[in-house]
Amino acid sequence: MSAAPVDLSVRLGALTLANPILLASGTCGYGVELAGLLDFAAIGGIVTKTVTLRPREGNPPPRIAETPSGMLNSIGLENVGIDTFLREKLPAAAALPTKIVVSVGGHAVPDYVELARRLDPEPGVAAIELNLSCPNVSGGLDLSLSRAGSAEVVGAVRRVTTKPLIAKLTPNVTAIGDIARGAEEGGADAVSLVNTFIGMAIDVERRTPKLRTVTGGLSGPAIRPLAVAKVYAAARAVRIPVIGIGGVSSAADVIEFLLAGATAVEVGTWNYVEPGAAGTLAAGVAAYLARHDFRSPADLRGALVLPAKE
């Protein structure tokens, strides 16, 4: 008798993805930039570059610097603004054979509310990710530094949209479980974490920072163990799904996040190394599940074998 087939689909509230692989915001543009490089049907979805109410030029260069096993960035949410996004970017993205999650960002709660209100009637938008955690813009972290803050912004947005809401959280806090609980209390369908860690690199010959903004967000494989620990803490604190982000470059990395309590993952910095790599990850996850007699990614949550207490 042959084994039952593996079902890779996952649920994030009302949002169902074909598999647990998403592309992280800021690393895949508005999606169409990867046409010809990525099999869009092989991933669960794309999280767009963060959109703001008005166009942003972003921070001045240099705003990217390579680091051991990672990179620092200080892009500063460069984007076309919501009007141009709705008119020019969303129609092309919505035509791709995958789910489109739109990331939105702002300086204050009313910004997020207005962006969600504008996106709510759009059928091409499968979900909204609230970027509460960008370390490279003024005020970008204020809304996710406390349980009350995250609850406030998510709750305000929840009142104006029926779209699934994902709250993207910063790791630059002492108790990420509390922040995740605030997002859950506000009505988030899921939380995604982590955004980048604040880091700094110095050109020792010039004795100057490698980034114009001095500090930036550290991402890539270097942060994965830190991100896995944050996901483990958040997953133990909330009942809603957790999306793991940080250094994913292989199917084994995906499995690690799932075992830590994640329902799905987002692939970020690795998109710059191998733009089509995310398209192969779901097959690797399926092979792992079949090899270990699991039927779905959900079976891995709670399957972490912890050391026995003495």
- pLDDT of amino acid 136: 53
Q: Where are the domains of the chain?
A: 10-59+76-197+219-300
Say how far apart CA 237 and CA 165 lie, in whole Å: 18
Residue 134 annotated among the catalytic residues of the structure: yes
pLDDT band of residue 134 (cuts 50, 70, 90) is low
Answer for the pair 100, 161: CB distance below 8 angstroms, yes or no.
no
Q: What is the pLDDT of residues 254-301, one digit of tens each?
A: 999 999 999 999 999 999 999 999 999 999 999 999 999 999 999 998
Q: What is the pLDDT of residues 6-58, one digit of tens each?
A: 999 999 999 999 999 999 999 999 999 999 999 999 999 999 999 999 999 99
- pLDDT of amino acid 133: 79
Fold for the domain defined by 10-59+76-197+219-300: TIM Barrel (3.20.20)
Comparing CA positions, the residue from 129, 136, 133 lying closest to residue 64 is 136
Q: What is the pLDDT of residues 189-247, one digit of tens each?
A: 999 999 999 999 999 999 999 999 999 999 999 999 999 999 999 999 999 999 999 99
Q: Give the residue-averaged pLDDT of 54-76.
A: 96
**What sign for the dihedral angle of Cα 81, 87, 93, 94?**
positive
pLDDT higher than 80, residue 144: no
Strands (E), the chain: 10-12, 15-17, 21-23, 45-47, 64-67, 70-73, 99-104, 127-131, 165-168, 190-193, 197-200, 202-203, 208-209, 215-219, 242-245, 264-267
The DSSP bridge partners found for residue 10 are 17
Q: How far is CA 192 from CA 41, 98, 138, 169, 299, in A?
A: 22, 19, 21, 6, 20
Q: What is the pLDDT of residues 88-124, one digit of tens each?
A: 999 999 999 999 999 999 988 999 999 999 999 999 9
Choice among 53, 126, 127, 134 that is catalytic: 134
Residue 140 vs residue 152, higher pLDDT: 152
- pLDDT of amino acid 142: 61
- pLDDT of amino acid 67: 96
